Structure 1
Amino acid sequence: MAADSLRTGLFNKTQFKNCGSFSNYYPKIIAAADFSSRAFRASQEPLDDNKNKFYKELGMFSFRKRIEDSILRAEMLAPTALELEEAKHVNQEEVIRDYDLWDDLSRSNEILLKLAESAKVVDNLRDLKYKAEEAKLITELAEMDAINYALFKQAYSASLDVNKFLDTYEMSKLLKEPYDMEGACIILESRCGDIYSERWAGQLAQMYMKWAQRQGHTGRIVERCPSNNGGLKSATIEFEFKFAYGYLSGERGVHSLIRSSENTSARPEASLASVDVIPLFIESSPDQLLIDDEDILVSYPSYCEDNLLGTSSTVQVQHIPTGLEVQSTGERSRFANKIKAFNRLKAKLLVVMRDQRISSVKSIKKDAKMDRWSRETRKYVLRPTKMVHDLKSGVQFPDVNAVINGNLDPLIAAHINSRQTTTFI
């Protein structure tokens, strides 16, 4: 029960009202999160001497409530989390004492890596406790100093650090699916011959890059095929940080940007782009997956950037039995592209095997290759009302511009939450 209580602090009823009965399991923590979401927006605006005193007091009230909610959340979750992580760390130390590290070097490296990660989590949770106490103390000092705005701002900054760590920690506890801990490779493709879809694909690429920046990471556009209108025909983005695949796996499918014409009788205009997401193995490797050579078809098609350079280093690899195919063109040589294409194919096959709950490539059903345009994931509606509708989780989010500017966290959390709800049911 203690472990389960860690899984809810990130989610609140406002964001996930359509996510089923998951919220019924944890009323206290969700109530705290809901209470936090009602804080006034006045605190988000800078205060100056020209503002009305009423609005200044309202902003102070908002600061105080947000800080109190962060402290409450830390006091509810951090002690239990620290207790669990310390016990986990002790168990891992006992494993090392009982294990001969020279017997299997690859296994030893894995054990030592997990031990180091566990120690880091324990240290961060201890620091979190101090940060919450610091925010609480500064808040009390601000009250004593006749509501000192500068002190409140300092306490608020500390509370943001508390919330950011708890969000990340809770997410990591929920991401337990195979390959969730891996990096991610996103492959974008616009609808062929549609200039608006090409521009939309370019916006999606920037959306994912901005999302990574908000997480404190960077994405790399390793392959891109630009269109003549400034958009993208296709692009491949790699995110080389932990849990990237777990966060982004729900993005797979068709993303449509919908604009309704002022003429109500006309059909809404839709710009379409497909998104595929496969694991990017950073610390581990998919080499254990064996594929027969006769099941592989390697070709060397020309690619748009190759044509601009007058060369062709693109490598395309197809798995004949399933029809799955990938390509790589971002490396300088055919040899390097061939290695990367094979790794991407293995990653795709591993995901299909996981989804079909099988352990052998030969057992994959022949219909593994789906029409990438047949599965719609999300709608971004600009007119007549602005709304983002995530079709997988059922969540609707009103601020389209915020999402396109990289604020994917509510939608990503909704997807992860819906996976957990399905598991519980």
Structure 2
Amino acid sequence: MDEHLLGLRDRIEHLGRSLDADALRKKVRAIEEDMARPGFWDDRAAAQVKVRELEAVKERLAEYNRLTEALDEIEVLFELAAEEGDEGTRAEAEAALAKLDEDFERARVQFLLSGPYDGNDCFLALNAGAGGTDAQDWTEMLLRMYTRFCERANFAVRVVDETPGEEAGLKSATLEVKGRFAYGFFRGESGVHRLVRISPFDSQARRHTSFASVTVTPVVPEEDVDISEDDLKIDSFRAGGPGGQHMQKNETAVRITHLPTGIVVGCQNERSQFQNKVTALRILRARLRALMEQEQARKIEELRGELADIEWGHQIRSYVLQPYQLVKDHRTGVEVGNVESVLDGDLWPFIWAWLEAREGREKA
């Protein structure tokens, strides 16, 4: 039998074991029974979450079944070609196998990105940490890195808020990324990113270490997070650069403080104050949802004794330009020597490794 066919069958069967199809079928039955109970829609937000979960599980099962059925049909084609010595049938089987291989890789991505918000758009909040001007410059370098990644991966990206540094770079910035599975691909970027290089701002050309944090949050539906106007402090100000550069005459920029949590978000790059407020509320909703998930994860990890691994301040990756060149992810161990390529947006080696490692942790 064709080795390519056997290899693909092994991979699909491995995927089935990873999915635990029987457990997914049980989950479908359990959710459907829950939905049939009186009062299910009393809590509309919770019900919507359940409905989306059911749709996602059904979609995964349907895709897995389609892969196995297509593979069985291709196997029959190969058997017919062998029995009849028909090269035309064999060519048809090989073409179908090549297409199924591509379909399998797409399905594998979707199965890896199976979280409740993995398919959503997302926000990336970048903040300069220790390192002064170097850290602010590093924050701007990260913004460029993620922008280039989005351009190469066909995600729509824009800056919705930024605070320039005093001398160079950025104190903070917020990116909005739109595209299928944007949050799923980016969520592993949350954490502290460390840069080691000869500082361009040091007259003695000494080596400096700078830090910047990245927080990735999913764009979530309004019904998922209830925000009371009474919990908000909303300030408006003029958008523009430091020291009054390019300042707008009207106070269109918006800063929102969520009083119960102290979370502060802002937006200044929309055309009107109303649009800035709408975008800022979307960012706040995403941050609050992430906070809820963080608290839930904290409780689980406290039971496992692994609290340090879920801290948002956990250093995840180092980018070393001096005395050697290397980018190393401290969670997965992935290393890339071409630092310039990484800073130009080639993040796929780190993203795939993190997704596969996450799948392994969740199955453990």
- Shorter chain as denominator, the TM-score bin is 0.5 to 0.7
Aligned to 1:160: 102
Which among 153, 157, 160 is matched to residue 223 of structure 1? 160
* Distance in 2 of aligned mates of 1:275 and 1:237: 11
* Distance in 2 of aligned mates of 1:102 and 1:277: 31
Shift of 1:125: 1.6
Residue pair 2:113, 2:184 contacting (<8 A) in 1 also: no
- Residue 69 (structure 1) aligned with residue 7 (structure 2): yes
Identity in percent? 26
Shift of 1:272: 5.6
* Distance in 2 of aligned mates of 1:408 and 1:202: 13
For structure 2, the residue ranges without an aligned partner over 5 or more in a row are: 299-311
Aligned to 1:315: 254
* Distance in 1 of aligned mates of 2:183 and 2:110: 14
* Distance in 1 of aligned mates of 2:41 and 2:313: 51
Shift of 1:169: 0.8
Matching residue's letter, 2:66:
D
Q: 1:304 to 1:193 in 2, by over 3 A?
A: farther
Q: 1:66 to 1:310 in 2, by over 3 A?
A: farther
Shift of 1:184: 2.1
Aligned to 2:142: 201
Q: Could you state the TM-score of these two structures normalised by the residue count of structure 1?
A: 0.58
SS at match of 1:340: helix
Q: 1:388 to 1:347 in 2, by over 3 A?
A: same
Matching residue's letter, 1:379:
S
Deviations 1:23-71 (A, max 9, x none): xxxxxxxxxxxxxxxxxxxxxxxxxxxxxxxxxxxxxxxxx87765333
Deviations 1:292-341 (A, max 9, x none): 54xx5432233337936544311112346765321122433323323432
- Residue 328 (structure 1) aligned with residue 264 (structure 2): no
Matching residue's letter, 1:76:
H
Aligned to 1:33: none
Shift of 1:186: 0.5
Deviations 1:318-365 (A, max 9, x none): 346765321122433323323432443354345445545599xxxxxx
5 Å-filtered alignment, 1:51-70, equals 68-70=6-8
Residue pair 2:113, 2:119 contacting (<8 A) in 1 also: no
Residue pair 1:187, 1:237 contacting (<8 A) in 2 also: yes
Matching residue's letter, 2:141:
W
* Distance in 2 of aligned mates of 1:382 and 1:136: 51
5 Å-filtered alignment, 1:286-325, equals 286-287=225-226, 293=231, 296-304=232-240, 307=246, 310-319=249-258, 323-325=262-264
* Distance in 2 of aligned mates of 1:227 and 1:114: 41
Deviations 1:350-407 (A, max 9, x none): 5445545599xxxxxxxxxxxxx97643223356654321234444344546645655
Residue pair 1:138, 1:152 contacting (<8 A) in 2 also: no
Shift of 1:166: 2.1
- Residue 128 (structure 1) aligned with residue 67 (structure 2): yes
Aligned to 1:388: 327
Matching residue's letter, 1:249:
R
Residue pair 1:387, 1:398 contacting (<8 A) in 2 also: yes
Matching residue's letter, 2:316:
T
* Distance in 2 of aligned mates of 1:402 and 1:134: 42
Aligned to 1:78: 16
Deviations 1:155-187 (A, max 9, x none): 444313213312421442xx47xx667542102
Aligned to 1:236: 174
Aligned to 1:26: none
Q: 1:198 to 1:153 in 2, by over 3 A?
A: farther
Residue pair 2:122, 2:217 contacting (<8 A) in 1 also: yes
Residue pair 1:182, 1:279 contacting (<8 A) in 2 also: yes
- Aligned-pair RMSD on alpha carbons? 4.9
For structure 1, the residue ranges without an aligned partner over 5 or more in a row are: 1-63, 360-372
Q: Could you state the TM-score of these two structures normalised by the residue count of structure 2?
A: 0.66
- Residue 276 (structure 1) aligned with residue 215 (structure 2): yes
